Every structure is written in structure tokens, then in C-alpha cells.
């Protein structure tokens, strides 16, 4: 059979991109891509590492994107029951309490000031949106082989390989303060087409290497109304990139009913694993109504004090301290590669990043056999070379670090004879046709990695420096990897 890639192009513009996620940096099955990334349909069974090297947006497993509106509905019913409101009064209160949309303005700008991506859109608290233009190209990324009596076939498995830049963000309002914003940025640029030589006599052609440059960045930070934040991002080809982001609009305040009930939303706290413990502490002090979306209601003589305390806790958990992260690689004392970027760090809010080259290789084969039929099935291994990691601040101020550098290479391919030829014969149930030998190629990719993993304290100046060195047997040179994290504001 003749195997070839399929070139089908799908454009996703900002106004058409319903899905709330940045595009996948890994090849995505065509049906999954259409449902998840184009239509925004939550699927439930997927995991972030199916689509990205390291990125993991916090809303990935959110089946519902409008939990805050659901929480407001639940709060309105609670207040109506508590204060004996009519249905009309409840609906009127809900319309007043519903937060108005705010305006998000964002751009990705290079070191020379050229705008590479920009967008402006109204957004609602808790509901993610996406900006960017991407091109999805359908590729034959693997095969599903099938075999039956006297017949076999390799069924191409089509994946989408996406190129372009996309930026997703989700903002949570923080009472009387501003917004906590999570951003997820992806940049993928495919390399020139390279065909993997399968070496299988029954497969003419090959599978594409699917090589591509990948940059991923995910972090969370705090924004004041009308104040633009600028962060440097990981970047490709030595260019300098900056994220510009600004939110404009009214910040919600603590609400009060005529009966004295205080209510507010703390959605940024509700997104944390520590939210149940926070609610437990509140209930030790007084009666509190709570919803999983972060809506709270307090009654009694301490209602105002408790509401103010909850708002202060929401602001205290927001990431307001900016850090510069640097990773550098040296060979024989000379700098050979590195990444420098910025992020805000706060407990339970991870920074995730990746920059490098991704591809795939044929690392093994299976052979499917049936009566008078057989076919080899290639096993493909995903590869990544470059910088990647995650950093999460703990409640005690220590940093949970999982950062490193990985690499891969291709030694000479190995040609293997999996099965000899089988001559035609006559059996008791009839004649059998001859079977050619099965010969294939295996690439045996070499993979390596080095890095840092563990809990590390910052010093008194909010600074962390890690380093390790090793001698490479291939070139006898000393290699050094450094990771430096420093608070800059």
C-alpha cells in the first residue's frame, strides 16, 4: 500500500475558537481535536499530558464552565428561603448581584516591539477564553493494523498537528482588590517534513517524524483594575517575548441584604485544594453558607467581620510576588543554551513551562498473525529535547521543583528480519498462498535527561540557586546545568 500524509487545513480564529484551551502541542486525534479544542465539549476521559508536554490548565477537568453562575443561583435560593423572598424578589436580587463582564486586553510582543498576537474581549469571572490563530494539519501519525483469514491491512490513524500561537486565560474576581488571572500559552512551529523509513516490505512510504518546535507557559498572577502587567515568556530561536495583559472593569464588593446578611464570592479560594479546610475554619467561628464555586453568606452579629476576613484571605492567597526563572546549560565552560522568563508564585498555584523540539520515532514492532495472513505493526515513541518543568510554592514558602533538560538522538537504524518467507502449500482445508518475509527497521532512539526534583527553600533574599555538572562520555567535556529563581518584586 502507498502511505502518505494528508494535508487538510483548519483555521481557528479568535472569534471562532469556542474551546477554552490553548491548542495542543502534541498530535491530537482528529475526533478528539474537533470535540475538545474546536467545539469546547468537555470529554472527561482525557488527561493534560495527552495534549501538552508540561502544560496543565487548572480548568482542564472542569465539566462546567459556569460554576459561579450556578453558585449565585444557589445563593439566591438560600437567601430567598432564609428571608422569605418572593420569586420575583429573588430574580431581581440575582440580576443585581450578577457580576458585569470585564474587558481583557492581551498581546504577545517580541523584543523589537512587534505584536505577534493580540486580542480584546469581555470576559466573566471563572469562564476561560482563548485568543490566537492556529492551523491544524492532518497527518498519518500511526496505523491500526488489522488481520483476518487470508487478508491484512494497515488502517491509517489521522492526527492533527497544529502550528501557531494561542493564549487562554481565566480570571477570578477578588473582592475590593482586583483579579487573579491564570494564563496558558502555546507556540508550535513544525519543522521541515521528514519521513521515517519503516523498512517494511508491505508498507511503501513512511510515517512523518512530526518534528516541531514547542513552547508552553502556564502561570497565575494578580491584576489590579486598569494596570497592565508585562511578563517575559519562554521563547524560540533566541527571540525575546513579552506577555502584556490588562483587565478593565468594576471589581465586586462585599454585598449586604436588607436583613443584614453579608455575601461575597471567593472563587480563587474555591479553586484550591485547601478550600474545604478554609470553610471548616469559618464554621468554627459562626454559621456560614457556602458553595463549591466560592460563594459565601454570613449572618448574625459577626457577619461583617467574617466577610471582611474571607475577602482578606482571598487577597492573601493571590500571587503578588514576581520571580525571574533562569535555566542555563554550559559545555566546557561555554554557555550553550538557556531560557529566562518571569512568573508570579504563590501556594498551590503552579508554574509550568516547556521549550524544545518534539518528534516521534519507531522504537519497536508488533506482528499480527492470522490464518494465512500476517502484518507488522509499528510502535512509535514520542520524544522531546529541551527545557521543561514545573515550580509550585508550598504554604511554608519552600518550592516544589521538577525542572530539567532532556535530549534525544538517533543512532543508526537497525534492519530486522521478523519472519522468513512462507512457501505456498496445500493443507487439508485447501491451498495456502505464499507469504513474503517480514523485514522492518527500528530506530532505537537514545534519550537522556538531567534536572532537579525536590523541595527547596528560598534564602533570606528570596533566592534559590541549583547546579550540577557531569562529564559526557561522548565528547569528554564537562557539562553544567543551572537553575536560578529570584524574586524581583
Domain hosting 136: range is 2-254+318-487
Between residues 435 and 395, which one has the greater pLDDT?
Answer: 395
What's the rounded mean pLDDT across residues 10-14? 31
Nearest Cα residue to 413 out of 171, 198, 120, 109:
198
pLDDT at 99: 75
Query: Is 170 a domain residue?
Result: yes
- What percent of the chain is predicted at pLDDT more than 70? 90
pLDDT(409) > 80: yes
pLDDT(61) > 80: no
Q: Which residues contact 238 (CB under 8 A, 6 or more apart)?
A: none
* Cα–Cα distance measured from residue 167 to residue 126, given in angstroms and rounded to the nearest whole number: 16
Phi-psi map region of 280: left, alpha, beta (phi>0 left; psi -120 to 50 alpha) = alpha
**Residue 427: band (very low, low, confident or very high) from pLDDT cuts 50, 70, 90:** low
Query: Is 312 a domain residue?
Result: no
Query: Is 266 a domain residue?
Result: no
Q: Tell me the per-residue pLDDT of 17-60, one tens digit each, with 9 for 90 and over.
A: 357 889 999 999 888 888 778 766 666 677 899 999 999 999 88
pLDDT at 9: 30
* Cα–Cα distance measured from residue 319 to residue 52, given in angstroms and rounded to the nearest whole number: 24
**Residue 212: band (very low, low, confident or very high) from pLDDT cuts 50, 70, 90:** very high
**Residue 8: band (very low, low, confident or very high) from pLDDT cuts 50, 70, 90:** very low
Query: Is 395 a domain residue?
Result: yes
**Total structural domains within the chain:** 1
Query: Is 287 a domain residue?
Result: no
**Residue 1: band (very low, low, confident or very high) from pLDDT cuts 50, 70, 90:** very low
Q: Tell me the per-residue pLDDT of 302-325, one tens digit each, with 9 for 90 and over.
A: 999 999 999 999 999 999 999 999
pLDDT at 412: 80
| Average pLDDT along the chain | 87
**Residue 399: band (very low, low, confident or very high) from pLDDT cuts 50, 70, 90:** very high
pLDDT at 130: 93
pLDDT(198) > 50: yes
**Residue 464: band (very low, low, confident or very high) from pLDDT cuts 50, 70, 90:** very high
Q: Tell me the per-residue pLDDT of 98-125, one tens digit each, with 9 for 90 and over.
A: 778 899 999 999 999 999 999 999 998 8
Query: Is 304 a domain residue?
Result: no
* Cα–Cα distance measured from residue 261 to residue 384, given in angstroms and rounded to the nearest whole number: 55
Between residues 219 and 422, which one has the greater pLDDT?
Answer: 219
Query: Is 414 a domain residue?
Result: yes
What's the rounded mean pLDDT across residues 116-136? 92
Query: Is 351 a domain residue?
Result: yes
Amino acid at each position: 500500500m502507498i502511505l502518505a500524509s494528508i494535508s487538510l487545513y483548519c483555521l481557528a480564529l479568535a472569534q471562532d475558537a469556542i474551546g477554552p484551551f490553548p491548542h495542543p502541542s502534541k498530535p491530537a486525534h482528529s475526533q478528539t481535536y474537533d470535540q475538545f479544542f474546536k467545539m469546547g465539549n468537555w470529554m472527561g476521559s482525557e488527561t493534560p499530558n495527552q495534549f501538552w508536554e508540561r502544560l496543565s490548565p487548572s480548568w482542564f477537568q472542569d465539566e462546567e464552565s459556569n460554576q459561579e453562575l450556578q453558585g449565585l443561583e444557589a445563593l439566591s435560593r438560600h437567601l430567598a428561603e432564609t428571608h422569605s423572598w418572593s420569586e420575583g424578589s429573588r430574580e431581581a436580587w440575582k440580576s443585581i448581584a450578577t457580576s458585569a463582564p470585564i474587558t481583557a486586553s492581551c498581546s504577545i510582543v517580541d523584543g523589537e516591539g512587534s505584536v505577534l498576537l493580540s486580542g480584546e474581549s469581555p470576559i466573566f469571572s471563572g469562564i476561560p477564553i482563548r485568543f490566537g490563530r492556529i492551523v491544524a494539519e492532518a497527518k498519518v501519525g500511526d496505523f491500526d493494523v488489522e488481520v483476518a483469514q487470508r487478508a491484512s491491512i494497515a488502517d491509517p490513524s489521522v492526527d492533527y498537528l497544529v502550528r501557531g500561537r494561542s493564549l487562554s486565560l481565566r480570571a477570578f474576581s477578588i473582592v475590593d482588590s482586583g483579579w487573579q488571572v491564570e494564563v496558558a500559552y502555546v507556540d508550535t512551529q513544525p519543522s521541515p517534513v521528514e519521513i521515517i523509513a519503516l523498512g517494511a516490505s508491505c508498507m511503501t512510504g513512511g510515517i512523518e517524524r512530526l518534528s516541531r518546535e514547542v513552547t508552553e507557559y502556564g502561570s497565575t498572577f494578580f491584576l489590579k483594575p486598569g494596570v497592565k502587567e508585562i511578563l517575559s515568556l519562554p521563547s524560540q530561536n533566541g527571540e525575546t517575548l513579552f506577555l502584556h495583559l490588562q483587565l478593565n472593569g468594576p471589581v465586586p464588593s462585599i454585598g449586604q441584604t436588607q436583613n443584614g446578611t453579608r455575601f461575597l464570592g471567593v472563587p480563587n479560594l474555591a479553586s484550591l485544594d485547601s478550600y474545604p479546610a478554609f470553610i471548616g475554619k469559618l464554621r468554627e467561628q459562626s454559621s456560614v453558607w457556602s458553595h463549591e464555586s466560592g460563594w459565601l453568606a454570613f449572618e448574625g452579629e459577626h457577619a461583617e467581620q467574617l466577610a471582611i476576613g474571607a475577602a482578606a484571605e482571598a487577597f492573601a492567597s493571590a500571587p503578588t510576588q514576581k520571580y525571574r526563572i533562569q535555566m542555563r546549560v554550559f559545555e566546557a565552560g561555554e554557555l550553550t543554551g538557556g531560557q529566562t522568563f518571569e512568573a508570579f508564585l504563590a501556594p498551590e498555584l503552579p508554574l509550568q513551562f516547556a521549550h524544545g523540539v518534539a518528534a516521534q520515532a519507531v522504537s519497536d514492532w508488533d506482528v499480527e498473525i492470522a490464518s494465512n495472513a500476517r502484518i507488522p505493526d509499528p510502535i512509535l515513541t514520542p520524544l522531546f529535547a529541551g527545557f521543561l518543568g514545573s515550580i509550585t510554592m508550598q504554604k511554608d514558602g519552600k518550592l516544589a521543583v521538577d525542572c530539567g533538560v532532556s535530549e534525544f538522538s538517533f543512532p543508526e537504524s537497525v534492519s530486522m528480519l521478523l519472519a522468513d518467507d512462507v512457501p505456498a502449500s496445500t493443507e487439508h482445508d485447501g491451498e495456502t498462498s505464499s507469504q513474503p518475509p517480514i523485514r522492518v527497521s527500528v530506530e532505537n532512539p537514545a534519550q537522556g535527561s538531567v534536572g532537579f526534583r525536590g523541595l527547596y527553600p528560598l534564602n533570606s533574599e528570596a533566592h534559590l540557586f541549583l547546579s550540577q555538572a557531569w562529564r559526557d562520555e561522548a565528547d569528554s567535556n564537562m557539562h553544567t546545568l543551572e537553575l536560578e529563581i529570584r524574586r524581583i518584586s
